[in-house]
A and B are shown apart, each in its own frame.
Chain A
Amino acid sequence: MLKRVHFPPSLLPYLLVAPQVAITLIFFIWPASQALYQSFLIEDAFGLSTEFVWFENFIALFKDPIYVETFWRTAYFSLAVAGLSMGLALVLAAFADRVVRGATFYRTLLIWPYAIAPVLAGALWVFMFNPTLGIVAYALDAMGIEWNHKLNGSQAMLLVIMAAAWKQVAYNFLFFLAAMQSIPKSVIEAAAIDGAGPLKRFWTIIFPLITPTTFFLLVVNMVYAFFDTFGIIHAVTQGGPANATTILVYKVYNDGFVGLDLGSSAAQSVILMVIVIALTVVQFRFIEKRVEY
């Protein structure tokens, strides 16, 4: 943590940490504590008076079937995004690990969606699936599938899941590939000599050895699906139709900025904070135990 050799005490270290600490206090700690405080208040409809109500906002939230539904929808959404993008990335990485010639070329072409902003990813997908014009919607129509994510809730959900997973494949691919390439070749060669085929080697050696990476990616993907997909949903569906794609982050934004229900929005923020803290703790506990080959 601290160097054995260090500089003598002075005022300097305080000046050095000052900018970071000032920004943290002003833009992180203070707003977060405000959110915590507001989550215990109820404001009347005109914003004239506020009342301290302890946990009433939270109780109201968990009694609200719409919120509980949003909660489960978010869980479903993030698991679907994580599963889809990690599954695809795993398959691609397993094959990319075999490529001898053209590996860099393939990698370059696979990683660029990482650079695309979520809202742009949403725009691309909503354009392809535009019910009247979109090229994919047209192809689906030719196959007899009627596509309209503006009316059909489950199609809307499918669309945001696909857009969100598409953007995340690049990230997962890079980490899976790095993990697979760090497995000593001798282990795999030994299995090959013992007569294990490629598929058997993958399931009995490669997959178990990359488990730490898989868990790490699961947490990262959950965080991504929980928070970073706001742009996708905002561009593609605005949470609709009929709340079919409203996830927790979108609801905080919607209730706070559009609905101006401050107490409830703050309580929702606090619940999200608890979720991030839990995920971060899980991530750090796990990284400490990271397997070294």
Chain B
Amino acid sequence: MIENRPFLNILTHLVMILGIAMIAFPIWITFVAASHDPIRMTQVPLPLLPGDQFFINMKNTLFGRGLSGTEIAPVWLMMLNSLVMALSIAIGKIVISLLSAFAIVYFRFPFRMGFFWLIFITLMLPVEVRILPTFQVVADLGLLNSYAGLSLPLIASATATFMFRQVFLTIPDEMLESARIDGAGPMRFFWDILIPLSRTNIAALFVILFIYGWNQYLWPLLITTDTSMTTIVMSIKQMLESAEQSPEWNIIMMTALLAMLPPILVVVFMQKLFVKGLTETEK
């Protein structure tokens, strides 16, 4: 602090609290809605304070048959699907990016720069701009309604490759020289030196990519037609549609809460890694 200004200090805390109230309000309302019984959730005005049905709603949402009159998978299954998708995207991206960054930094081979630019181009082709043809490719490969179809098309990553390239470039050349004198081959060097040295970067990237994978929406929406393969993030949309007929908002909002819980927990409890990952992948 530069100087002591009591009024400004009070204003600072006031603004911060106001900002947090604004940011947290929608989440609070979701939590409140998830803790009341269905009848209370049809009476205007809706409550602003939580009720006592939170755990009953959670149990009914997770293991019940979901909303009445809808054909959707149980919520626990959708959460499992989301988890498998998020983990395969995060781990897949990290593994293939580590390998290709290793090749590009530590080997001289024909077409090296060609491969580098090829990977770079993926940065400019988000799913949204090539949805139809990508869908056709995945359909032709018979990957619709499968975990592979959910994750494979999303695991090419230019940003992760760039980040690992940056990390590897900061590792001193002496490491490689001494490893080679000790008789280590390339893969030995990769496993025993590069991976341990980039451990925090891998963890930080994992946090970001897990959130990215968990929150995928458009792609799962296109390629899953089988209800047993739907992800929890997708299911909200179907629930909102059925809310027109049967407004069981306590169940819908509980599902929304369960859908946002894993990534929020990751952000809150791994905040340091999260901030590191966020700022580093953008460089």
User: Residues of A with Cβ closer than 8 Å to B?
Assistant: 1-7, 9-10, 12-14, 16-17, 19-21, 23-32, 34-35, 38, 88, 91-92, 95-96, 98-100, 102, 104, 106-121, 123-128, 132-135, 138, 166, 169-171, 174-175, 178, 185, 188-189, 192, 198, 216, 220, 227, 230-231, 234-235, 249, 252-253, 256-257, 262, 265-266, 269-270, 272-273, 276-277, 280, 287
Contacts and interface: CB of A to CB of B under 8 A. Distances in A.
Interface string B81-98: 000000000000001110
Contacts of B105: 1-3
Interface in B56-104: 95-97, 99-100, 102-104
B15 A231 contact: no
Contact of B218 (A9, A108, A171, A231): A231
A31 B249 contact: no
14 contacts: A14-B103, A17-B100, A24-B156, A28-B130, A106-B16, A117-B217, A119-B237, A124-B30, A166-B23, A171-B278, A189-B2, A253-B131, A265-B132, A269-B131
Contacts, number: 296
A28 B29 contact: no
Contacts of B24: 109
Given A14-B103, A117-B259, A185-B2, 18 more contacts: A9-B109, A16-B100, A27-B153, A30-B137, A34-B130, A34-B136, A111-B274, A114-B278, A116-B27, A117-B217, A117-B260, A123-B256, A128-B25, A174-B279, A257-B131, A262-B132, A269-B132, A287-B283
A19 B264 contact: no
B130 A35 contact: yes
B130 A118 contact: no
A174 B9 CA distance: 21
* Chain A, interface SS category: helix
A21 B115 contact: yes
Contacts of B266: 115
Contact of A133 (B106, B247, B267): B247
A231 B218 CA distance: 7
B26 A119 contact: no
B133 A138 contact: no
A185 B180 CA distance: 46
A192 B23 CA distance: 32
Contacts of A230: 128, 217-218
B266 to A, nearest CB: 7
Given A115-B266, A227-B128, A235 B236 contact: yes
A127 B132 contact: no
Interface string B243-283: 00001010011001001100110111001001100110011
B1 interface: yes
Contacts of A273: 124-125, 129-130
A17 B121 CA distance: 15
Contacts of B102: 16
A234 B2 contact: no
A277 to B, nearest CB: 5
Contact of B106 (A3, A23, A38): A3
B167 interface: no
A112 B253 CA distance: 17
B173 A5 contact: yes
Interface in B23-63: 23-27, 29-30, 33, 41-42, 44-46, 48
B217 A118 contact: yes
